[in-house]
Structure 1
């Protein structure tokens, strides 16, 4: 599972870029993303907030989420 800060025009663009793509959510703001991840994936480690913050501070356009 990954999160991305890249803006896509459609889900087909995402599908073309990522083999095995099955679904996407958003686009969402930062807090919406953190809230969703906290609710749906409480076993994220580091926390959802930390992982979203790392993505925003990195040059990379996406980040693979890590779990406990």
Structure 2
């Protein structure tokens, strides 16, 4: 598993993971100003999985599928979107 860290970003109409490096949450808010609700991070793969397990329980209720999260961490992609929330 790649050692990347991500930000979990919650917008009004979707959630996303971003590998982009931010100095603080204000930068994220500025980037998604029209739909920003909140963000958490940076988080490692393990942090994110633990957060989803604690917050959502059953994997079927997660906003992002575990297999997509694994693929994202192993990819060179910078953003992963989901409208499953």
TM-score where L is the length of structure 2:
0.61
Segments of structure 1 that go 5 or more residues without pairing to the other structure are none
Q: Within the alignment, does 1:24 sit opposite 2:39 as a pair?
A: yes
Segments of structure 2 that go 5 or more residues without pairing to the other structure are 1-14
SS of 2:70's equivalent in the other structure is helix
How many Å apart are 1:45 and its aligned residue? 7.2
CA distance in 1, matches of 2:84, 2:62: 4
**Cα separation, partners in 2 of 1:17 and 1:31, compared to 1, 3 Å:** same
Question: What RMSD, in angstroms, separates the aligned Cα atoms of the two structures?
Answer: 2.4
Match of 2:68 among 51, 54, 60: 51
Using CA pairs below 8 Å that are at least 6 residues apart, which structure has the higher relative contact order? 1
* Larger proportion of strand: 2
TM-score where L is the length of structure 1:
0.71
Question: Is the contact between residue 45 and residue 73 of structure 2 (CA under 8 Å) also seen in structure 1?
Answer: no
